Structure 1
């Protein structure tokens, strides 16, 4: 019997999370999107203002699809997000998304990257579109 791990965050794809105050987060491992460029002003501080969107960056949501655009208009992330209704509702309510990325490939590598201070964070405005 072959077992394929394809659950959220286990196959190199992005996975949704909610902060304790119910604000939405998208954790994006290295294989799911290009690394942040230093000129993009991603924060390396865990205490960055998660409710203040970074100018120029924007996300467009058409569940289950999410696209995050750089200030140049080019997509940084463009793929479906395997998220439940609660996460999409939180994203619609807050209209702001915290992105977390870094040198990790799955949930098992995430903690090591966090402990090394290697995570990059960016908050973006989010708009919903109807398909």
Structure 2
């Protein structure tokens, strides 16, 4: 997987697009966001070629994104600073790749990836088209 655009300079999640323009959300690991293999997390980038992980769901309406795990608990719920292209890709593909691991920003993402320490998961996404994301459509 090649990440091609985004910031990731702060301590928080940030959006990216893969080389083939699929939406990715990079989320630094945190105790509040468990990563369990039995919930569908994998270290293999081949997750992009498989069906989304069972039980996972995401609701997106710019600027916010809520991701729930198979147990229904919120795994991620906050605004995502993303441009129109990312939101369009999310609506087009209706699948989001989540990447997490021991990184806090763009500078320590590559070392974590090179060491094989990233976990990946795809989830289906439902996007809303209300006032929250009206500014993202063009």
TM-score, scaled to structure 1: 0.87
Give the deviation of 1:35 after TM superposition: 3.8
> Is the CA contact 2:69–2:75 (under 8 Å) kept in the aligned structure 1?
yes
Number of paired residues?
A: 125
What do residues 29-75 of structure 1 show as CA deviations (whole Å, max 9, x unaligned)?
Answer: 12596241232220111232345211110000011100000011111
Q: What is residue 37 of structure 1 aligned with on the other side?
A: 36
Segments ≥4 residues shifted beyond 6 Å: none
Gaps of 5+ in 1: 1-6
The separation in 1 between residues aligned to 2:95 and 2:112, in whole angstroms, is: 24
Report the 3-state secondary structure (helix = DSSP H, G, I; strand = E; otherwise coil) of the residue aligned with 2:97.
Answer: strand
Report the 3-state secondary structure (helix = DSSP H, G, I; strand = E; otherwise coil) of the residue aligned with 1:66.
Answer: strand
Across the aligned residues of Structure 1 and Structure 2, the Cα RMSD in angstroms comes to 1.9
Gaps of 5+ in 2: 1-5, 133-138
More helix by share: 2
Q: What is residue 92 of structure 2 aligned with on the other side?
A: 93
Report the 3-state secondary structure (helix = DSSP H, G, I; strand = E; otherwise coil) of the residue aligned with 1:49.
Answer: helix
Q: What is residue 47 of structure 1 aligned with on the other side?
A: 46
